[in-house]
Amino acid sequence: MKCPVCEIGCDIAEGRSGRCRMYVNRNGTIVERFPGSYLTMLPITIETMPMVHFAPKSKFLQVSTVGCNFACPGCISETLTVHADAVAGALTTASPEEVVRRAQVEDCTGIVFCLNDPAASYFTFLALAREAKAAGLRVGCSTNGYFTEHALAALTPFLDFVNIGLKGSSDERYRECGAKSADPVFRNIRTLHEKGVHVEVSAMYIHGAEDEVLNAARRVAGISPDIPLQVMRFVPFGEAAPGLEPTIRESEHVTDRLRTFLRYVYLFNSPGTGYLNTVCPVCGTTVLEREFYGPMGCRTSAALEGGRCPCGWQAPVRGEICAEQYTEYGMLGGYRTTRAIEMAHAILVTLGIRDDKELGAVLGDIVREDFIRGMHDRIHQVDSWLGLIAELAARAGREEEGRELISFLRERTDRIVAGSALAETRPRVYYSMGYPLFALNAERFESNLVEAAGGTCVNKRLKRKGKPGVNITVDELNELNPEYMFISGFLSSPASDYLHYCTEHGVESDAVGAGKVYNVPAGWDFGSPRWILGFMFLANTIHPEIFSFDLEHEQREFYRRFYGITGDKFVANRDFSRPVIGAPGDE
């Protein structure tokens, strides 16, 4: 029997599932494997979805499930899609009425389905959307847009806004994700736009694939040049090769080109860029100012009243700009939640757990028990980080492996703390993500590691907070005047681009003058127990007169003992739970 949900059109035999594994043929009817079941259900601001031109700063109830009809290389939600069965144990059932009541109790404007694709839970989402609209709530979703015409026609009357995630423009690119062609997506964008649904599109920009983004934007412009386009700078997760990641500077150049035929183009996954702002095309005034707010998300940090420029130009937003900004707690909300799940996954992998069934037994419990809420508070200090490992090891029945990992981390941490106590000076150190003007929060783990390594983290003088940091001004950075500047190994920028930005924008710190700007290696400072390698890197750099860790040896030893990976050469990526690609001896 043919599945009616998406254009892949799986023929599903009785008792079997299609390629997404989320539907089964039961007595001649296609039904969901996990009907009415949700992985997350929590309030977010709409920009976290992300959505930029619809009801800015408004609070919505985010729901997600597991699974996806696509299989895209480097998917940021891989834990929820590729490893869907591993986290299915965390699903909780709720009727449409119960979800709507939750949205109302939370004082949400509406409900949005994101993180994984609603095509994986189509009938659940359709029932929820119908109930939410009947209750006067707004409804939206983030999707790859591969619905059949029939499935979309049934859903459209209940949709207010949609973010369509484009994989490119060519059939070849869509086949890489397991689809047949690109045409159904652009057909559905046109249908939604013509039906009056507010449509925004996000396009993944992969290094070397500029034409895919440019041609996709041209096809969108053919529908309407007013449809906002969100350029998603590709970050290599999973098995994606690091060379596919474009720099922020390259991404800004592509964004400039896209703006020649689309009116509203924004750049995401690029902390510190100014290309998230809505600027008046008449006089150049910034009308809506935004900043990075976690992977795939942003936050409206400032807005002129009503979105109107003093010259009279009106920003093209639908719905009112909310007066107050809702702030999600910790890692709850948007794709930060997937990072939290992957951090737990990353610890379990270092304990030797790599089987989906065994992973699922632990991940299912911790997500169901709201473990993620408290997890945010435990990843900013060494002792609490080690306690987190101990707890997960106990839950997984891997206490011995946990003790071995903790011993490895503790021994090196103690050496750094003892050595830094001997330092005659404590240099001023600044920790940023992406471009220079995005400062990590004062209480972040990276900031605390700087202090433990014998530096004075100037980020601690900043009072504002974001996720994982905030935009600051050139004057603020010059006032901090760091002697060392580090660029995060998570969402990064080459040191050469970073210094170019400093020169171009008048950043004149001692670090810039002395060329003491350093990239922390990918995956070494956030998201997994590999932070110990970043800690040793910081110590070597800040106090070379005290520390001389052999980082190549330390990396080989860590990977051998805790990943079962041997060899001298590693192709590193930014994935938390999968540290290298195609390494010899990778188990």
pLDDT tens series, the chain, 587 aa: 899 999 999 998 998 988 889 999 999 999 999 999 998 899 999 999 999 999 999 999 999 999 999 988 767 666 666 667 767 777 889 999 999 999 999 999 999 999 899 999 999 999 999 999 999 999 999 999 999 999 999 999 999 999 999 999 999 999 999 999 999 999 999 999 999 999 999 999 999 999 999 999 999 999 999 999 999 999 887 777 888 999 999 999 999 999 999 999 999 999 999 999 999 999 999 999 999 998 899 999 999 999 999 999 999 999 999 998 888 888 888 878 878 888 998 999 999 998 777 887 787 777 766 777 888 889 999 999 999 999 999 999 999 999 999 999 999 999 999 999 999 999 999 999 999 999 999 999 999 999 999 999 999 999 999 999 999 999 999 999 999 999 999 889 999 999 999 999 999 999 999 999 999 998 899 889 999 999 999 999 999 999 999 999 999 999 999 999 887 767 777 888 877 765 433 43
Identify the helix (H) or strand (E) that includes residue 231: strand 229-233
Q: Which residues of 526-546 are buried (b: 16+ CB within 10 A; e: fewer)?
A: bbbbbbbbbbbbbbbbbbeeb
The one-character DSSP state at 529 is T
Q: Which residue has the tokens 């974001």?
A: 466
Q: Radius of gyration over alpha carbons of the chain, in Å?
A: 24
* Dist. CA 295–CA 338, nearest whole Å: 10
* Dist. CA 397–CA 571, nearest whole Å: 31
* Dist. CA 494–CA 484, nearest whole Å: 15
At 166, the amino acid letter reads: L
DSSP H helices, 440-530, are 445-452, 474-480, 495-505, 510-514
CA-to-CA separations, 511 to 342, 407, 428, in angstroms, rounded: 34, 35, 9
* Dist. CA 556–CA 566, nearest whole Å: 7
Domain 23-328 CATH superfamily: Aldolase class I (3.20.20.70)
At 519, the amino acid letter reads: N
Decide: 257 and 7 in contact? Cβ < 8 Å: no
Decide: 260 and 297 in contact? Cβ < 8 Å: no
Number of Cα atoms under 13 Å in the Cβ half of residue 118: 30
Decide: 53 and 276 in contact? Cβ < 8 Å: no
* Dist. CA 144–CA 164, nearest whole Å: 5
Cα-Cα-Cα-Cα dihedral sign, residues 95, 98, 100, 106:
negative
Return the CATH fold of 428-549.
Rossmann fold (3.40.50)
Decide: 179 and 8 in contact? Cβ < 8 Å: yes
Global pTM value:
0.93
Interhelix angle 445-452/382-396, rounded to 10 degrees, is 120
